[in-house]
Structure 1
Amino acid sequence: MRAVVSKPHLLSRIASITLGKTIGGPGASIQDHPEPTISPDEILVRVRAVALNPTDYKHIDAVSPPGCVIGCDYAGEVAQVGGNAAKTWAVGDRVAGAVHGGLFPDRGAFAEYLKTDSDLAWKIPADIDDAAAATFGVSAVTAMLTLNVRLHLPWAEECKVGQEQQQSAPAIFIYAGSTSAGLFTIQLARLAGYTVVTTASPHSFDLVKSYGANAVFNYRDDNVADAIVKEYPDIRVAVDCFSEGKSFGICDAVLKNKGGRLITLLPPAKPKYPGVEHELVMAYTLFGRSFQWLAPFGPKFPALPDDRKALARFYASLPELVSNKTVRPPPITLEEGSWDGILTGLDKLRSGKVSGGKLVVKL
């Protein structure tokens, strides 16, 4: 089968991390690659569309060992069903989800076929196309992991859609609300009854409000944190959906009056103020397997069974949540070029040319 496969070796990856740029030429290419073999608990998926994430190019540039299939977010149709999975899946079913791309030779999404645990995928409703379905991958499940698992907010299927928000509703601060992760986090937090305060560029103000934000501030303003605290002085929880540069400092400044907890999507800086705690979340812990980056020297991450249960629960509820538009996909930009479009789109992400939506490639 065709697949986007990683090429770099350990020394070039370490150099890329150290110097902050790609060393040794392109880190991945489109190759012929062995088709995955499934276990009784897995399904084989013929991939029809993929969504692109920053984690994809970061794996290419620095994390992926040689010979790994890149890519996490996918939509397609079931091509083969393991014996234990036949109760819930049949050949031809439309399916979508996320896989742990970039670290294994047989699990990435940027391939003609991928394999996944049968309970860690969701059935696409008839009125949802593949491009939209592919966006409910890393960004969506990271929002769920952050809010429902780490912060213990009510789950989306437990919430009443359209219920009137109480004036006393607690506020949550979401940095970078116009990112895909931000838009999903806004929706799930608003469903849980929170007042959502976020940041974005002025041209995205209407976008984030249409997804449920109660208030939005320009992240470029020098006094943005002070402006937020003035209007919302009791914020105790925050989610940094950018997690680079000045975002940590702004989030800490929003939390400094009351102390509180900041969830980050990349390794956080040291908190700037006493009483503020930082915690990193990674969607990869949702797949229930231990893993290591930059083996044999890099950090190891244990299997977290409760995270895996959370992903199975979220994807079991997602068909209804999507059908009744309780949770909506982010705005979609189709990247032309099929397989070549994957690498072109990742270059756009790498250079910061994508905002306010999700790049999707149809294969």
Structure 2
Amino acid sequence: MSSIPTTQSAYVINGAKGEVKSVAVPKLASGQVLIKNEAVAINPTDWKHVDFQLGVDGAIVGCDVAGTVVAVGEDVKGVKVGDQLFGLVSGASAITPENGGFAEYSAIYADRSLKVGNKLEHAKGDSLPAGPVTTWEGAASLPVGLITSLIGFVHWAKLPIHHESKFNDQYFLVWGGASSLGQLVIQFAKKVGFKVIATASSHNFDLLKELGAEAVFDYHDKDVLEQISKHAGDDITYAYDTITTPPTTLNVYSVLSKTRESVLLTSLNFDEKTIKEVNPKVKAIDFPLAYLAIDKKKKFGATGFEISSPAGLFEDTVKGVSEVNEGYAKDPAYLRHIPVKIVRGGLSALDEALDIVRQGKNSGVKIVVPL
């Protein structure tokens, strides 16, 4: 393997826009490995960090990466040079601006990175249907959604990610099932044993049923809440609001069980009085961003706002990722990647790729850029 350069090309913040420039290759912290990126994926947080200056000037943007290990840091176990990994980077960080996803090289934590048992290859063509993780592009589409859904289950809701029969008579509602996060939540909930239902636009119904939803409801319908309640009755005990606007969160509160203790995972919570007025049986969990599964602290540049990782989150993430990797070692379809739209052109194509997500033209698909 060729030697690792000291500089690389990366997409960095410059004011309220991004640009490709030459920067240093990141140094490894304890527990990290350096990967040479083969593909990166776009998340809404990426363009928001640029447009709203949530990162700092010079910070490398990007969170979803997939690549080959080229260097191993201290205190790393079970990973070696040449391994193929896909993982999460704290892109556009005000604390570690020198490390991000939209670059030739990224530093990722080995014990919170994902791998499959098969060899990854680059996809041909401009799109991929939902399916097993066999390509770099499919792998790059997963980390943010997978880790976010994983910590919602294992850390916040204290749920398993394997089958337990006690959940077989309970419904799990995924509001925003076609989002990249929603498609992973559906798959986790199905593995646990829940009867899974979701909301989405009608053109995504078949996809979500293939992923494990027994019924999908069009959130555009005026009577969508009545449709959900008619189907599931009083048995919706868990829900994940992946959209997290005030109306969607209140909608989910209203259809959760009125007689059984129920749990709502959301990143937009209301005061306890409002929750109890809508549904007194709901325990709403305001979970943090996936950044905190890898960052002790996340600081936002323009505001200076800072949040800290809660106790136990790192450990729960490591355990959960280990179980996921055991599944992937046996079957690349253990958790299927969502449909992928491929934007070619390397780092120079990132403006185009970010614009697709910025303009909301990515319904049901993940935008991925091969490098």
Q: 1:94-119: CA deviations, max 9, x gaps?
A: 11111111113122111111112222
The 8 Å contact of residues 286 and 304 in structure 1, kept in 2 or not, is answered as no
The 8 Å contact of residues 106 and 115 in structure 1, kept in 2 or not, is answered as no
| Alignment of structure 1 residues 245-264 onto 2, 5 Å | 246-255=247-256, 257-258=258-259, 260-264=262-266
Distance in 2, matches of 1:67 and 1:142, equals 26
2:82 corresponds to which of 59, 82, 92? 92
Distance in 1, matches of 2:355 and 2:242, equals 20
Superposition TM-score, scaled by structure 2 size: 0.84
Residue matched to 1:80: 71
Residue matched to 1:222: 222
- Give SS of 2:338's match: coil
Residues 31 and 209 of structure 1: CA distance in aligned 2, closer, same or farther (over 3 Å)? same
Distance in 2, matches of 1:268 and 1:98, equals 25
2:360 corresponds to which of 341, 346, 352? 352
Residue matched to 2:325: 319
Residue matched to 1:283: 290
Distance in 1, matches of 2:356 and 2:144, equals 18
Residue matched to 2:40: 50
Residue matched to 1:69: 60
Distance in 1, matches of 2:245 and 2:344, equals 29
Superposition TM-score, scaled by structure 1 size: 0.86
Residue matched to 2:4: none
Q: 1:297-350: CA deviations, max 9, x gaps?
A: 42x212334211222223323334234222111111111221122221111111
The 8 Å contact of residues 154 and 320 in structure 2, kept in 1 or not, is answered as no
Residue matched to 2:150: 144
Distance in 1, matches of 2:204 and 2:110, equals 37
Distance in 1, matches of 2:109 and 2:302, equals 24
Q: 1:248-292: CA deviations, max 9, x gaps?
A: 232122237457432124x34554614245433211121141222
Distance in 1, matches of 2:41 and 2:155, equals 24
Residue matched to 1:169: 169
Residues 289 and 181 of structure 1: CA distance in aligned 2, closer, same or farther (over 3 Å)? same
Q: 1:218-246: CA deviations, max 9, x gaps?
A: 10001111221122232232111111363
Q: Which amino acid aligns with 1:123?
A: K
| Alignment of structure 1 residues 235-254 onto 2, 5 Å | 235-244=236-245, 246-254=247-255
Residue matched to 2:308: 302
| Alignment of structure 1 residues 261-272 onto 2, 5 Å | 261-265=263-267, 267-269=268-270, 271=274
Residues 331 and 251 of structure 1: CA distance in aligned 2, closer, same or farther (over 3 Å)? same
Residues paired across the two proteins, number: 337
Q: Provide the identity percentage.
A: 29
Residues 194 and 66 of structure 1: CA distance in aligned 2, closer, same or farther (over 3 Å)? same
1:107 corresponds to which of 83, 88, 99? 99
The 8 Å contact of residues 288 and 304 in structure 1, kept in 2 or not, is answered as no
Q: Please report how far the alpha carbon of residue 296 of structure 1 lies from its aligned counterpart in structure 2 after TM superposition.
A: 6.3
User: Gapped runs of 5+ residues in structure 2?
Assistant: 1-7, 120-133
Residue matched to 2:188: 188
Distance in 2, matches of 1:51 and 1:112, equals 13
Distance in 2, matches of 1:358 and 1:296, equals 29
The 8 Å contact of residues 80 and 91 in structure 1, kept in 2 or not, is answered as yes
User: Gapped runs of 5+ residues in structure 1?
Assistant: 9-25
The 8 Å contact of residues 168 and 193 in structure 2, kept in 1 or not, is answered as no
Distance in 1, matches of 2:44 and 2:303, equals 24
The 8 Å contact of residues 239 and 252 in structure 2, kept in 1 or not, is answered as yes
Higher relative contact order (CA 8 A, sep 6+): 2
Distance in 1, matches of 2:189 and 2:170, equals 10
- Give SS of 2:368's match: strand
- Give SS of 1:352's match: coil
Residue matched to 1:198: 198
**1:337 matches 2:328:** no
Q: Please report how far the alpha carbon of residue 180 of structure 1 lies from its aligned counterpart in structure 2 after TM superposition.
A: 1.2
Distance in 2, matches of 1:27 and 1:150, equals 35
